[in-house]
Amino acid sequence: MTSGKTFDYSNLFAKGLPSAIASGDMPQPKYNFILGHTNAETIPVEGLIEATAAAMRKDGPGLSINLHNGGLLGYLPLREFLVHKLSNYRGVDVTADEILITSGSQTAAMLINTALLEPGDTVVAENWSYVGMLGDLRMRGVNVVGVPVDEDGMRLDALADTLSELEDEGVRPKYIYTIPTVQNPTGAIMPIERRQEMLQLSEEYGVPILEDDCYADLVYEGESVNAIRSMDDSDRVIHMGSFSKNLAPGMRLGYVVASWQILGQLLPLKGDIGTSNFGQMVTAEFFNNHYEEHVEILRTALRRKRDTMTAAISEHFGPMVKPNHPRGGIYLWVTFPEDVDTRKALAAAREMGIGYNPGSDWAVYPADDERNGNNCIRFCYALPTEEEIWEGIELLARVFQRELGFPKER
């Protein structure tokens, strides 16, 4: 019999762990403009029910074993769908054996980082970038060097200067991390000329590119641009994608496109004996039959919500607040006057049921007053209804007036 005294693990945890989460219960705010949620109204529930039934009738008994119909790389029909999708919509010609299915693109990024990075290594990224990637790099003790972005994404003149300066210091980055199509958080879409120039710089300095393409299906205005990987004939681009944004985050499915030299090194690190076959079966069945029609419905809904949020911000915050106008995606990057610190209203907004992310969450240099984005907000407009967008932004403007004195009462 034990003493009943609760065992204390505090001295047993590994050093360098991130801060512990206080609770597993994470209630969502009523007006939810945070994280990477997608549009609830366009989740194809009935289509997924039908796809589940069809997939189980076709291949359900295969769930009795691990790694059914595809082995370590993932469910073969899903990888074959990606071969078709990448060729037809992203200009990337690969075989199914060059695709690894993962439990979301965040897992893909962590596998790549585990394979390539050690403490003290250097990675180059856009000055504003995906918070999940930045957090993982910092936890690993990696030096992240930010490159400025503009309305066309990463500035390639600044990238050239950065790589040259690092070379002069005797530093060769492990990779250039970029989100070239609907950049997170700014929504920029990099033109083809910049993609080609990035490849040239990659070759000149011997630094590979990690291309995060998880928003590419969500371009709803103008033409999309082929992936950087499509222009690569020397295997210097590792390509990542996701089913979280074009289908559902709850599916937890992503993928890596790379040569076997890379995939063969990632597989021993995966540690989960294969990503859930059930989710892969359902997704493959649904997308092999409904991909184009579903993505078009999703794009239409997202465009409408972007316009709703832009109008609501203009109405309630006034002309001194500048939202961007992305051609796709699920985020609005909004710039306030320089003296407005959006972090200072966070707690009060949360008490009113409003969740938002201040710009510093996405900054490579969050402690640098000139580059921390404290006067910016990244709003995710995909999850709330249009009515909730109007209500939430109006309420947030009142919170800002009370807490920050901005905008002025009219």
Distance in angstroms (rounded) separating the CA atoms of residues 315 and 204: 48
- The answer to whether the peptide bond before residue 191 is cis (omega within 30 degrees of 0) is no
Query: What backbone phi and psi angles, to 5 degrees, belong to 180?
Result: -75, -20
Would you state the pLDDT for residue 325? Answer: 93
d(C-alpha 70, C-alpha 314), whole Å: 51
Q: Coil, helix or strand for 102?
A: strand
pTM of this structure: 0.94
Tell me the two tokens of residue 103: 């439990």
Tokens 């990503």 correspond to: 275
- Distance, in Å, from the CA atom of 73 to the CA atom of 167, rounded to the nearest integer, reads 36
Q: In the prediction, which pLDDT does 22 show?
A: 67
Of the candidates 324, 316, 258, which has an alpha carbon nearest to the alpha carbon of residue 116? 258
- 45-290 is a CATH 3.40.640.10 domain: yes
Distances (CA, A) of 378 to 97, 165, 339: 37, 31, 17
Q: How far apart are CA 101 and CA 104, in angstroms?
A: 8
Q: Which residue has the tokens 């210097």?
A: 236
Q: Enumerate residue ranges in the chain where pLDDT < 70.
A: 1-3, 22-25, 409-410
3-class secondary structure, 12: coil
Q: Does CATH place domain 31-44+292-404 in 3.90.1150.10?
A: yes
Which pair of structure tokens corresponds to residue 13?
Answer: 């945890």
Domain segments of the chain as ranges:
31-44+292-404, 45-290
Supply the DSSP string of 303-359, one letter for each residue. Answer: HHHHHHHHHHHHHHH-TTSEE---SBSSEEEEE--TT--GGGGHHHHHHTTEE-EEG
Instruction: Return the pLDDT at 306.
Output: 97
Write the single-letter amino acid at 21.
I
CB 176 within 8 A of CB 218: no
Rounded to whole angstroms, the Cα distance separating 30 from 100 reads 37
* Spatial CB neighbours of 152, under 8 Å, sequence gap ≥ 6: 188, 189, 190, 191, 194
Q: Is 377 helix (H, G, I), strand (E, B) or coil?
A: strand
